């Protein structure tokens, strides 16, 4: 049995999840910092 | 519960240190400077652990290269359970002391924990096909982890289901505490029932059944996943605190203008 699709699939879903959630979290954090700064300096 | 006691020569309440750190503003001041370093550290350790497991760790004599799935499956499983334990602790603090930070933490832990549980289920399923001949079996370990995933989803839905956020936090906290009974069931399922899922290979009290050439990348990958979880949850809590502060400042400005 060719195991590569199973191994690559497992690692693929993991990397996608970590990178995706990491990027979304970073974007939300940056947006929150920017908005708060804008409101505080208004 | 909050009796007067002598703390560092001054009269204070029992658990006052806990209440001091439960302040969202203090949390923001403490965590924000550490966050970039935590993110870099978690990235380095996770990438090292995952690449080590994928490319350099030896293949298992029986399972062959399919054992490499362990380096993402096991850490994801551990983090999903630890995440739910953290959710239950936050829910406990929320119900007993009504800490606003505990509510915020519970709200932000839910989606991340559900994601790790999803990764655990998918990677386990992809390991099951070549090893067991089936993507899924209604085994005690698999079923209890699936229930954990549904508990996370229920918590995410319930916390946002009420117009009054306080009601949502309270209802979700009760669900999280009741659902915590699932954690020992997951851990001991391989001992209590005759399961297809293998028993515990790693023991912190000695007697691990895994050789160090496979244990080290697994430990590194697990540490990286734990750090990723902590970093993402802390960043989301900080973002949530700042979003609330922005909202209240805008509201105050609007009231002044009215």
**Does a structural domain hold residue B183?**
yes
Task: Tell me the torsion sign for CA atoms B167, B149, B183, A23.
Answer: negative
Task: Please state, in angstroms and rounded to a whole number, the distance separating the CA atoms of residues B84 and B102.
Answer: 14
Closest CA to B46 of A4, A21, A31: A21
**Does a structural domain hold residue B239?**
yes
The pLDDT score that the predictor gives to residue B245 is 95
CA B75 to chain CA centroid, Å, is 11
The pLDDT score that the predictor gives to residue B201 is 77
Q: Identify the residue whose tokens are 């839905």.
A: B157
Q: Between A3, A21, A39, which is nearest B249 by CB?
A: A39
Distance from CA of A4 to the nearest CA of B (A): 8
Q: Which positions in chain B touch A28 (Cβ < 8 Å)?
A: 235-236, 239
Q: Which positions in chain A touch B76 (Cβ < 8 Å)?
A: 14
Q: In chain A, which among 2-31 make CB contacts under 8 A with chain B?
A: 3, 6-7, 9-11, 13-15, 17-18, 21-22, 25-26, 28-29, 31
Q: Between A13, A21, A32, which is nearest B243 by CB?
A: A32
Q: Which residues in chain B land under pLDDT 70?
A: 1-18, 204, 206-207, 258
For residue B58, give the DSSP letter.
P
**Residue A33 contacts B where some CB pair is shorter than 8 Å:** yes
Answer yes or no: are the C-beta atoms of B237 and B25 closer than 8 Å.
no
Closest CA to B53 of B223, B186, B207: B223
Inter-chain CB proximity B235 and A26 less than 8 Å: yes
Residue pLDDT, tens place only, A1-42: 889 999 999 999 999 999 999 999 999 999 999 999 999 987
**Chain B residues bordering chain A (beta-carbon distance below 8 Å):** 35, 39, 46, 50, 54, 64-66, 68-69, 72-73, 76, 112, 115-116, 118-119, 122-123, 126-127, 129-130, 228, 232, 235-236, 238-240, 242-243, 245-246, 249-250, 253
Closest CA to B27 of B36, B18, B14: B18
The pLDDT score that the predictor gives to residue B128 is 95
- Does the structure's ipTM exceed the value 0.90? yes
Residue B8, number of CB atoms within 10 A of its CB? 5
**Does a structural domain hold residue B43?**
no
Inter-chain CB proximity B239 and A35 less than 8 Å: no
Inter-chain CB proximity B235 and A6 less than 8 Å: no
**Does a structural domain hold residue B255?**
no
Nearest CA in chain B to A29: B239
Residue B10: strand pairing partners: B7
**Does a structural domain hold residue B188?**
yes
Q: Helices B100-132 and B212-257, interaxial angle, to 10°?
A: 140
Q: Identify the residue whose tokens are 């851990």.
A: B187
Residue B12: strand pairing partners: B5
Answer yes or no: are the C-beta atoms of B215 and B75 closer than 8 Å.
no
**Does a structural domain hold residue B237?**
yes
The pLDDT score that the predictor gives to residue B1 is 46
Neighbouring residues of B93: CB distance < 8 A, sequence distance ≥ 6: B18, B22, B99, B102
pTM: 0.91
Residue B14, number of CB atoms within 10 A of its CB? 12
Q: Helices B212-257 and B70-97, interaxial angle, to 10°?
A: 40
- Domain with B122, as residue range(s), is 69-200+212-249
Distance from CA of A16 to the nearest CA of B (A): 10
The pLDDT score that the predictor gives to residue B177 is 97
Neighbouring residues of B178: CB distance < 8 A, sequence distance ≥ 6: none
**Does a structural domain hold residue B4?**
no
Nearest CA in chain B to A14: B119
- Both tokens assigned to B165: 């956020």
**Does a structural domain hold residue B61?**
no
Number of domains in chain B: 1
Q: Which positions in chain A touch B68 (Cβ < 8 Å)?
A: 7, 11
């Amino acid at each position: 049995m060719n195991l590569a699709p199973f191994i690559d699939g497992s690692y693929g879903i993991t990397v996608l999840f970590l990178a995706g959630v990491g990027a979304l979290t970073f974007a939300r954090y940056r947006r929150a910092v920017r908005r708060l700064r804008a409101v505080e300096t208004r | 519960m909050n009796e007067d006691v002598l703390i560092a020569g001054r009269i204070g309440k029992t658990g006052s240190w806990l209440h001091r750190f439960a302040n969202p503003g203090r949390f923001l001041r403490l965590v924000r400077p550490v966050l970039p370093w935590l993110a870099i550290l978690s990235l380095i350790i996770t990438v090292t652990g995952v690449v080590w497991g994928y490319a350099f760790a030896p293949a298992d004599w029986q399972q062959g290269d399919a054992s490499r799935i362990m380096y993402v499956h096991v850490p994801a499983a551990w983090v999903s359970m630890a995440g739910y334990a953290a959710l239950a602790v936050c829910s406990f603090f929320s119900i007993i002391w009504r800490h606003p930070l505990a509510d915020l933490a519970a709200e932000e832990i839910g989606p991340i924990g559900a994601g790790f549980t999803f990764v655990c289920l998918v990677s386990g399923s992809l390991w099951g096909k070549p090893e067991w001949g089936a993507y899924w079996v209604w085994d005690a370990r698999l079923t209890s982890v699936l229930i954990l995933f549904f508990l996370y989803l229920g918590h995410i839905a319930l916390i946002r289901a009420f117009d009054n956020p306080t009601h949502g936090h309270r209802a979700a906290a009760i669900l999280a505490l009741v659902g915590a009974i699932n954690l020992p069931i997951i851990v001991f399922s391989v001992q209590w029932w005759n399961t297809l899922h293998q028993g515990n290979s790693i023991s912190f009290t000695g007697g691990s059944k895994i050789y160090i050439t496979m244990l080290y990348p697994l430990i590194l990958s697990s540490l990286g996943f734990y750090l990723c979880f902590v970093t993402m949850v802390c960043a989301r809590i900080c973002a949530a605190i700042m979003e609330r502060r922005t909202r209240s400042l805008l509201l105050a400005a609007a009231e002044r203008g009215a």
